[in-house]
Amino acid sequence: MASERKFFVGGNWKMNGNKESIDGIVKFLNEGGLNPNTEVVVAPSPIYLPYVRGKLNSQIGVAAQNCYKVEKGAFTGEISPAMLKDNGIDWAILGHSERRHVFGESDELIAAKVSHALSCGIKVIACIGEKLDEREAGKTEEVVFRQTKAIKEAVSDWSKVVLAYEPVWAIGTGKTATPDQAQEVHASLRKYLTDNVSADVAKSVRILYGGSVTPKNCKELAGKPDVDGFLVGGASLKPDFCEIINARS
């Protein structure tokens, strides 16, 4: 049952925010009456990670939006999991569709990042999802299973991993997969994990939905048996993010 898996809501701020706007977000999160049974993690721009961690209620996790596959070296512009740990950050989002499709990250690179982050004690929100042309060609399962396979081979401890299914065609477009479409893919992913990892992992791992989640649709999505929470983009910058966090109250 979904109820055995702790509901999880992530807020990906992407390349948004300044200290003034972040203070406002921190205020509504700290004072928002969040459901204590929901795990909440927010992902600010890397330059604000220590700032946010220092101001946010300790019950709310803070994630990097990305990190690299090695500890240190001549990798201009990158940050490592060791640097995250040094700043009190214990989560990273890896494989986000924008990293895949804007910055050209391969399944292989994402898997290497997942493996290294986990080895350094960073927990991972690992993202998968198909583009519109792939969905229309009937390739949704083919694409998400291929992406999940690469991640699976990088993971030894699934208790440190949350999967996020984000149909790329429903991110920032205002289009949303219907709750039934979301449930269908989540159920397929859980079966994939049963068949290719273990029944225990399939039962325990949380699979988030990430594609234009709003206060209007979050309750119905949260009611689906294989939807264990959300990875939210732009809506996580606004006070009604608290409604999304409390979707399963």
Known catalytic residues are 96, 166
Would you place residue 3 in the very low, low, confident or very high pLDDT band (cuts 50, 70, 90)? low
Mean predicted lDDT score pLDDT of the chain = 96
Q: Which amino acid, residue 103?
A: F
Please give the domain boundaries of the chain with CATH numbers for all domains.
2-245 (3.20.20.70)
Give the burial string for 180-200 (b: 16+ CB within 10 Å, else e): ebbbbbbebbbebbeeeeeee
101-149 residue pLDDT tens: 999 999 999 999 999 999 999 999 999 999 999 999 999 999 999 999 9
Would the pLDDT of 2 be above 60?
no
Would the pLDDT of 48 be above 50?
yes
Give pLDDT, residue 211. 86
Give pLDDT, residue 177. 84
Q: Which amino acid, residue 45?
A: S
58-107 residue pLDDT tens: 999 999 999 999 999 999 999 999 999 999 999 999 999 999 999 999 99
Please state, in angstroms and as integers, the Cα–Cα distance from residue 136 to each residue in 131, 167, 185, 209, following that order.
9, 12, 14, 19
183-207 residue pLDDT tens: 999 999 999 999 999 999 999 999 9
Give pLDDT, residue 29. 98
Q: How far apart are CA 220 and CA 183, in angstroms?
A: 11
Give pLDDT, residue 4. 86
User: Cα-Cα-Cα-Cα dihedral of 221, 245, 159, 223, to 10°?
Assistant: -20
The tokens for 154 are 């990088």
